[in-house]
Amino acid sequence: MVKVNLKVNKKSISKEVSDNTLLSDFLREKLLLTGTHVGCDTSQCGACVVHLNGQSVKSCTTLVADCEGSEITTIEGLAENGKMHVMQQSFKKHHGLQCGFCTPGMVMSAVDLLQKNKKPNEQEIRDWLEGNICRCTGYQNIVAAVKDAASKL
C-alpha cells in the first residue's frame, strides 16, 4: 500500500492505494468519477483520457502512485459553476457523439489540443485525435466540434 496525495477536479484527495492501482480504476472505483471510461485496458482506444498536470494521459495505463502530488482533471471537472466547457458545448451543438462511450476521452484530448494549438486545421485535429477511437460517428462531427470550440477560445 502507498498513500497518494493529489488534487482531482480541484479537490484535495489523500488515500491509501495498492501500488499497482491504475488511475482509471482509482477514479472510477475509489472516487466514483465514472465519466472516465475504460474501453480496452491497453491504451489503444482513448476512452480513459484525463488531464494530469494539464497534459492528456491515458489513465488505464497510468499508475495512481506515479501521480503523487499531481493535479488531475476528469470530464466531470471541465464544467465550471454548472456551465459546460466550450468543448462540451461544441460536442453537443455539432452532435459529436452517438453512443457517448468515447466522448469523455475525446473531449479531454481535444481540450488538450487547443491548449497547445489554438487554431488547428482539420488534419491537425484528426492527427491529434488519432489515439481516440470512435466506432459510431465517422469523426466528421467531432472534427467540426473541435473547430467550433477553437473559434470560441
Binned average pLDDT, 10 residues per bin, the chain of 153 residues: 97 96 97 94 90 97 97 96 96 92 95 97 96 89 97 92
Instruction: Record the cell numbers describing residue 16, joined without a space.
Output: 491509501
| Same domain, yes or no: 72 and 122 | no
| Same domain, yes or no: 98 and 138 | yes
pLDDT for 16 equals: 96
pLDDT for 40 equals: 86
Range of the domain at 142: 86-152
Query: How far is the CA of 66 from the CAs of 9, 96, 99, 113, 117, in angstroms?
Result: 18, 33, 32, 23, 27
pLDDT for 13 equals: 97
> What's the total number of domains in the chain?
2
pLDDT for 153 equals: 85
| Same domain, yes or no: 7 and 70 | yes
Secondary structure (3-state) at 30 = helix
